[in-house]
Amino acid sequence: MRKLFFVVAIGLTMLGVTAIFALASPIQPPHAQPIALHFQPIPDSNQLARATISPTSTLPILVALDQTSPSGGQTSENAKPSWSLSWTEPISAAISRIAVGNTVADGLPRIVALGADKTTLSIWKWDGSAFTQEATVNGGSHADQYVVGNFTPNKPAEIVVPGRYFYWNGKKYTGFTDNDLTSITGLARFSDGTENFFYFDGSSTPATFSIDLKSGKNWLTYGRMMSQPLPTGSDYRLLITHGSPEMLQNFAPVQMAQAGVLGYIDPKNDGNLYGFGGWMSTEGPNAGNFLVVTDASMFGPMGMNPSAPIYWRSPKLDGKLLDIAPCLDPKDGKTKGFLVLLATGANGDSRTVQFYKLD
C-alpha cells in the first residue's frame, strides 16, 4: 500500500495543476494583511454583488452591480448563479465540521459531523421536525480529515478517514481499516459523476484515490489524475479542500483562508466553474462572516487574482462560519445548495446549520 501511495504522489508531479492545487511559492503571499471588504448595498435580491479586489490592502474594494434588464432580472449575458436562504435549524453544540451524503441510499442525505472530541463522527437525519442523531462511528485520530462521497459507483455515499473506511451495509455502518493513507485534504467530483478524494500537502501536485471493494480490506486504489480547474469547459463539478488558514492563504485572500475551507463548484452542471468559500473580516463597516461565490480565478499560487470578481455573497451570517458543504438539501434530497455550519450564541457555544438553495 505504501508503494501505491508513493507511486501516485510521484507520478502526479508531472501534471501542472494551478488554482488551489498550484505549487505553493516560497515567497510570502502578497496579501498577508487583511483587505478591507466594502459592500455596496444591494437594492434587489435578484441583483448580484460583483466585487473586484484591489491588490493594495489599504485601498477600499470597488463593488459594482452587474447590468440588469429593465424588469430587474439579470440579462443572459451577465447572469450568474445566485443562492438564497432556505432554512435555519439548530444542531448539536458538539459539532465542529460537516459533510453531507446519501449514506443510506434512501433518497435523504445525512449530515456527517465531526464531534468535539475530534474522533467521533456522528450521522444526522432530518425526521420532519429536527435533525436527530441516528448513528456514530469511531474515526480515530485523523477523523478531522474525513470526506463523504460516492467513491464506489452505484453504492451509497461512503465515509473515508485516513486509515478508515465506513459504509452502510443495510443494517449498520461498518467498514475496513488501512494504515497506509495518513492524510486527506479534500474531494473531487468529475463531470461523469466519478468522485475521488485526494491528499495535497500545499506544495506538491495532489495524489488522488478511490475505493475498490472487490479487494476487500485492500480497498484503497488509484484515483483519476487531476487537471487544472478551468472557469469554462471544466471537467470538474466540485472540488473542495480543507486545510489550515496558514496553508490556504497561499492560494486565497486571508479573509477566505480563515474559514479553513475553499473549493470550486459547477452549480448548474454546464461546465462553468466558480470559486466558493467563507469571507471572515473583523474590520470595516462590513465586518463579519459571509458565504461568497467568486470567479474561478480568485484562487492562485500567489494568493489571488486581484481582478477576480465576487459574483454573489450571502447576507451577514448570524455567527462564526465553521464549515461549508455543497450538497443536496438534507431535508428533501432534491434541492442543490450550500449547507453552512455556524457557531452561534452569546459565547459561540451553540451550533446552527443553514441551507442556501440555488436560485
pLDDT in tens, the chain (359 residues): 444 433 333 333 333 333 444 423 322 222 333 333 333 333 333 333 334 433 333 222 323 323 222 222 232 345 799 999 999 999 999 999 999 999 999 999 999 999 999 999 999 999 999 999 999 999 999 999 999 999 998 899 999 999 999 999 999 999 888 767 889 999 999 999 999 999 987 777 789 999 988 776 678 888 998 888 888 988 999 999 999 999 888 888 888 999 999 999 999 999 999 999 999 988 887 789 999 999 998 886 545 675 789 999 999 999 999 999 999 999 999 999 999 999 999 999 999 999 999 99
Cα separation of 290 and 85, whole Å?
12
pLDDT given for residue 176 in this prediction: 86
Amino acid at 52: T
- DSSP run (H or E) holding 221: strand 220-222
How far is the CA of 67 from the CAs of 32, 46, 54, 108, 292, in angstroms?
33, 11, 21, 38, 19
How far is the CA of 264 from the CAs of 18, 52, 189, 230, 344, in angstroms?
13, 18, 10, 10, 27
Domain ranges in the chain are 2-22+42-65+79-358
Distance of CA 108 to the CA centre of its chain: 20
Query: What's the chain's Rg over C-alpha atoms?
Result: 20
Cα separation of 117 and 115, whole Å?
5
Cα separation of 99 and 97, whole Å?
7
pLDDT given for residue 250 in this prediction: 85
pLDDT given for residue 219 in this prediction: 83
| Cβ atoms of residues 276 and 291 within 8 Å | yes
pLDDT given for residue 218 in this prediction: 76
This prediction has a pTM of 0.81
pLDDT given for residue 49 in this prediction: 39
Cα separation of 80 and 73, whole Å?
11
Amino acid at 273: L
Cα separation of 40 and 286, whole Å?
10
Q: Under DSSP, is residue 213 helix (H, G, I), strand (E, B) or coil?
A: helix
pLDDT given for residue 205 in this prediction: 79
Cell of 147: 470526506
